[in-house]
Amino acid sequence: MEEFSTPKDVVKFLKIHKVTLYRLVKEGKIPAIKIGKQLRFSKGRLLTLRFN
């Protein structure tokens, strides 16, 4: 079963500001899913991210 992270966990992991995280999600650079009204991030996909 796939594990998911909260925005708070992702901010700490990527060492970015929360506003930056939401901007990157909106731009499609970080994949996220919505569970109810909350965003969740696949831990496996976060490990493969590359920013250019």
The model carries a pTM of 0.86
Task: Give the pLDDT confidence of 1-10 residue by residue, as tens digits.
Answer: 889 999 999 9
pLDDT score recorded for residue 21 = 97
Q: Where are the domains of the chain?
A: 4-47
pLDDT score recorded for residue 2 = 84
Give the count of beta carbons closer than 10 Å to the beta carbon of residue 22.
15
Task: Give the pLDDT confidence of 1-52 residue by residue, as tens digits.
Answer: 889 999 999 999 999 999 999 999 999 999 999 999 999 999 989 888 877 5
pLDDT score recorded for residue 30 = 94
Evaluate whether 32 touches 41 at the Cβ level (below 8 Å): yes
Structure-block tokens of residue 26: 């909106």
